[in-house]
C-alpha cells in the first residue's frame, strides 16, 4: 500500500511485514465490524498474535519477547494503521511492557513479560482520572503500604485495553502529600482481584472496537513486590523517561493512517464519476491529492527519523513531542480532505476514510494533548 521505501526497512523486516499483513488481513479485518459493534476485539486475537510473535517484538528474547527493535513495532503499527484497525491496543500493550523493560526489577520482568509476549496478559496504562488528565500531579488514587501489600483506592478513566487488560501499570500516590515525588507505578494483575472493577466501556466518537474503560479500585490489595522498580516515588521519572517511545508510536500510527487513507482515496476518485468524467480528472482533485501526498511524505520522513533515533536510543522528548503534535494535526487535515473527496460515502462508517476520520480526532488528545506537546517544545526554545 505504501510506495515510499523507508531507509530503515530491510529484507528481514519486509518478511515480518508480510507475515503481519497476512495475519491482519485474515484474522482481524473480517472481524472488525463485529468488534466495533461489541466495543472490543476478541480476547483470542491477542493469543493468536502472541503465537505468531507479533507482541512485545522489541522485548529481549530472554523475557519471552521477539528480540527485535522499535522497527518491528513500527511495522505492526503501520499495517494496523493503514487499515484503520484501531481496536487492537498493541501500542499501549507495548508501552506497558516497556515500563517493565526500562524500570522493572529482573524478577518483575520475568514474572510479567513472557505472559505479555504470549498474549496471556494484555497490558494497560492507568494514569488519567476523572479530575486529572494533563495535570497528572493531581491524581488521587492512593496506594498505602500495609505490611507486604499496598492497599489501593481510587478510580481511572479513559483506559485503553481497560476491559480486556490483565495487567495495569497503575499510577498512584504512595505519599499523597508529596506531589510528583510521592507518585509511583504499581503493576496490578487484575485476575480475581478483590475490590477491582471495570466500569463502562466508554462510547466514543471513533475507535469503536477499542475497549477504553473506567476502572475502580476499592481497598484492592496488591503485593508490595509489584511496585515498579521496587522503590517508591519514582513514578514521575519513570513516566517521563518513556514518553518519547509513546509519542513516537502515536506518530507512527498517524502517518500510517494518512498513507492508508490517501491510497484508498486515490482508488476511489479514479472510479467514481460525475459530470461525465472521473472525480480524479477534476483539477481540484489532482491538486488536493498532490497536497495530501506531499503532507504525508513530509510526515513520513519526520517519523522515519524518529524511528531511526529510537532504534539508536537517541530520540529526545522534544523531537518526539514535535512528531506527536505535528503529525497528528496533519493526520486530521489529511483525513478531512479524504472524506471530502469521497462525497457522501465519506460520511458512511462502512467506508475506511470515515472510520479513520473519527479515529484521528483523539490522536491530538491522548498521549499528552497537542497543547501540552507545544508546552514541552516551547520550554526547550
Ligand X SMILES: Cc1cc2nc3c(=O)[nH]c(=O)nc-3n(C[C@H](O)[C@H](O)[C@H](O)COP(=O)(O)OP(=O)(O)OC[C@H]3O[C@@H](n4cnc5c(N)ncnc54)[C@H](O)[C@@H]3O)c2cc1C
- Residue 80 is placed in which grid cell? 494496523
Stretch 349-368 residues interacting with ligand X (CB under 6 A): 362, 365-366, 368
How far is residue 255's CA from residue 260's CA, in Å, rounded to a whole number? 9
Exactly one of 134, 267, 294, 314 binds ligand X (CB under 6 A); that residue is 134
For ligand X, give the closer residue by CB, 23 or 112.
112
Strand partners, 159: 213
Give how many residues touch ligand X by CB under 6 A: 21
Q: Which of 25, 44, 316, 375 binds ligand X (CB under 6 A)?
A: 375
Interaction of residue 125 with ligand X, rule CB under 6 A: yes
Query: Closer CB to ligand X, residue 317 or residue 369?
Result: 369
Which stretch, 140-148, 261-269, 317-325, 370-378, contacts ligand X (CB under 6 A)? 370-378
Which of 57, 160, 264, 328 touches ligand X (CB under 6 A)? 160
Active site residue 350: no
Residue 55 found at the interface with ligand X (CB under 6 A): no
Nearer to ligand X, 38 or 278 (CB): 38
CB of 372 to ligand X, least distance (A): 6
How far apart CA 222 and CA 193 sit, in angstroms, is: 9
What would you report as the CA-atom Rg of the chain, rounded to the nearest whole angstrom?
21
128 binds ligand X (CB under 6 A): yes
CA distance 359 to 209: 10
68-107 residues in contact with ligand X (CB under 6 A) are: 92
The catalytic residue among 73, 79, 232, 246 is 246
**Residues 186 to 225 in contact with ligand X, rule: CB under 6 A:** 204, 207, 212
User: Closer CB to ligand X, residue 42 or residue 126?
Assistant: 126
Kindly write down the DSSP assignment for every residue of 290-320, as one continuous string.
Answer: HHHHHHHHHHHHHHHHHHHHHHHT---HHHH
Measured CA to CA, the distance from residue 178 to residue 239 in angstroms comes to 17
Packing angle, helices 317-341 and 283-312, rounded to 10? 160
- Residue whose cell numbers read 462508517: 349
Among the residue ranges 40-48, 153-161, 214-222, 299-307, the one whose residues contact ligand X (CB under 6 A): 153-161
Is 158 one of the binding residues for ligand X (CB under 6 A)? yes
159 binds ligand X (CB under 6 A): yes
| Contact call for residue 41 and ligand X (CB under 6 A) | no
Position 339 contacts ligand X (CB under 6 A): no
Nearest-approach distance from CB 379 to ligand X, in angstroms:
11
Which residues make Cβ contacts (< 8 Å) with residue 73, sequence separation at least 6? 57, 58, 91, 94, 249, 252
Residue whose CB is nearest to ligand X in the complex, by number: 133
Beta strands 213-223 and 142-146 are unpaired
Backbone angles phi, psi at 109, to 5 degrees: -60, -45
CB of 7 to ligand X, least distance (A): 31
Using an 8 Å Cβ cutoff, are 54 and 18 in contact?
A: no
- Quick one: which segment of 125-133, 182-190, 249-257, 311-319 binds ligand X (CB under 6 A)? 125-133
Cell triple for residue 309? 533515533
Could you list the beta-strand ranges (E) of the chain.
Answer: 123-126, 142-146, 149-159, 167-173, 183-189, 196-201, 213-223, 273-274, 277-278
What is the closest distance, in whole angstroms, from the C-beta atom of residue 289 to ligand X in the complex? 30
Separation between Cα atoms, residue 9 and residue 72, nearest integer Å? 10
Q: Does 369 engage in binding with ligand X (CB under 6 A)?
A: yes
- Binding residues for ligand X, per CB under 6 A? 92, 125-128, 133-134, 158-160, 204, 207, 212, 362, 365-366, 368-369, 371-372, 375
- Catalytic residue numbers read 246
Amino acid at each position: 500500500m505504501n510506495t515510499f521505501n523507508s531507509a530503515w526497512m530491510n529484507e528481514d523486516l519486509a518478511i515480518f511485514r508480510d507475515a503481519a499483513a497476512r495475519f491482519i488481513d485474515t484474522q482481524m479485518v473480517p472481524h472488525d465490524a463485529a468488534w466495533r459493534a461489541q466495543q472490543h476485539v476478541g480476547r483470542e486475537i491477542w493469543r493468536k498474535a502472541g503465537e505468531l510473535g507479533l507482541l512485545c517484538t522489541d522485548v529481549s528474547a530472554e523475557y519471552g519477547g521477539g528480540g527485535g527493535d522499535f522497527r518491528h513495532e513500527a511495522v505492526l503499527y503501520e499495517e494496523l494503521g493503514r487499515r484503520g484497525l484501531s481496536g487492537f491496543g498493541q501500542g499501549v500493550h507495548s508501552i506497558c511492557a516497556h515500563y517493565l523493560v526500562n524500570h522493572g526489577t529482573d524478577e518483575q520482568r520475568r514474572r510479567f513479560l513472557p505472559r505479555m509476549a504470549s498474549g496471556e496478559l494484555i497490558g494497560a496504562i492507568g494514569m488519567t482520572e476523572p479530575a486529572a488528565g494533563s495535570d497528572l500531579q493531581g491524581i488521587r488514587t492512593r496506594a498505602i503500604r500495609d505490611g507486604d501489600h499496598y492497599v489501593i483506592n481510587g478510580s481511572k478513566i479513559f483506559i485503553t485495553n481497560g476491559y480486556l487488560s490483565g495487567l495495569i501499570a497503575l499510577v498512584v500516590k504512595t505519599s499523597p502529600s508529596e506531589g510528583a515525588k510521592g507518585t509511583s507505578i504499581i503493576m496490578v494483575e487484575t485476575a480475581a482481584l478483590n475490590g477491582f472493577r471495570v466500569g463502562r466501556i466508554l462510547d466514543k466518537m471513533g475507535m469503536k472496537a477499542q475497549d477504553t474503560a473506567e476502572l475502580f479500585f476499592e481497598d484492592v490489595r496488591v503485593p508490595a513486590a509489584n511496585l515498579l522498580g521496587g522503590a517508591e516515588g519514582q513514578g514521575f521519572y519513570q513516566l517521563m523517561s518513556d514518553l518519547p517511545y509513546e509519542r513516537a508510536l502515536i506518530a507512527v500510527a498517524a502517518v500510517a493512517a494518512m498513507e492508508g487513507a490517501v491510497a484508498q482515496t486515490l482508488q476511489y476518485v479514479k472510479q467514481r464519476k460525475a459530470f461525465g468524467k472521473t472525480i480524479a480528472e477534476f483539477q481540484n482533485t489532482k491538486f488536493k491529492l498532490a497536497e495530501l501526498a506531499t503532507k504525508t511524505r513530509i510526515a513520513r520522513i519526520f517519523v522515519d527519523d524518529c524511528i531511526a533515533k529510537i532504534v539508536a536510543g537517541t530520540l529526545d522528548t522534544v523531537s518526539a513531542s514535535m512528531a506527536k503534535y505535528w503529525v497528528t494535526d496533519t493526520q486530521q487535515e489529511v483525513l478531512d480532505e479524504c472524506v471530502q473527496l469521497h462525497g457522501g460515502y465519506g460520511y458512511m462508517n462502512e467506508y475506511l476514510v470515515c472510520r479513520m476520520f473519527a479515529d484521528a480526532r483523539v490522536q491530538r488528545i491522548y498521549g499528552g494533548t497537542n497543547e501540552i506537546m507545544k508546552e514541552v517544545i516551547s520550554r526547550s526554545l
